[in-house]
Copies of this chain bind each other. A is one copy, B any other.
Amino acid sequence: MVRLNEIRPGETSVPLPAGTDAGLYFIGTIRTPWTDRLKCPRQGRADGPTCRLELSAPWNQGLDHITEFARLEVLYWLHESRRDLTLQSPRRDGNARGVFSLRTPARPNPIGTSIVHLVRVEGPVVFVRGLDCLDGTPLLDLKPDRELFTPLAAAQEGDHQVGDPS
């Protein structure tokens, strides 16, 4: 079972910092078939249901030219997740491991990332397959899949840098 808000045997929670260091804008809302964390997919699948990324104004202006890409990287805010568990027990068996060796939603910065297949765009709404998140999840960003994107800006010195500097 995925986590709701419990702390399980073997897990370690830490006090959260008093303040945050940077702020996010929610640029839209994700619509999926899943309204219960206990029924969400653990990971998205390319043949999964079509979901909608509903962009808010004025951010929807940024969708221009997006249909050039068959796959997109989507970032979203896992708004129901606790952030304080550095060691977690995904199997609830007392064995815990570090949060950074897991793709659990419960992380210091609960940002989900998925690679999705673009179905179509209708105005400010992007239809995609491959998501795994709850209905109503806040959208943070979308960008072309790194494997499909070639930078348009002119080359820079660092582009050609390999190995280790002496």
List chain A positions with a Cβ less than 8 A from chain B: 1-3, 12, 14, 16-17, 19-27, 33-34, 38-43, 45, 47-50, 58-59, 61-66, 68-69, 72-73, 75, 77, 79, 83, 86-87, 90-91, 96-104, 107-109, 111, 113, 115, 132, 138, 140-144, 146, 149, 151-159, 161-165
A3 to B153, CA, bound (A): 9
What would 9 A/B residue contacts be, using CB atoms closer than 8 Å? A1-B154, A38-B156, A39-B156, A41-B156, A41-B161, A49-B163, A62-B87, A100-B142, A102-B143
Q: Which of B42, B99, B159 is A62 in contact with, Cβ under 8 Å?
A: B99
Contact A107 B141 (CB under 8 A): yes
The contact of A22 among B138, B163, B165, by CB within 8 Å, is B138
Q: State the CA gap A86–B55 with chains docked (Å).
A: 12
Q: Are A111 and B108 in contact (CB under 8 A)?
A: no
Grouping DSSP codes into helix (H, G, I), strand (E, B) and loop, the A interface class, with mixed when no group exceeds half, is loop
CB-CB < 8 A to A87: which residues of B? 61-62, 64
Contact B24 A20 (CB under 8 A): yes
The answer to whether A68 and B151 have CB atoms under 8 Å apart is no
Instruction: Known A-B contacts: A21-B25, A23-B23, A23-B24. Give 16 more (CB < 8 A).
Output: A20-B23, A20-B24, A22-B138, A38-B157, A45-B159, A48-B161, A61-B87, A64-B97, A66-B98, A75-B109, A100-B142, A101-B144, A107-B141, A108-B141, A109-B141, A111-B140
Most buried by B among A25, A140, A146: A25
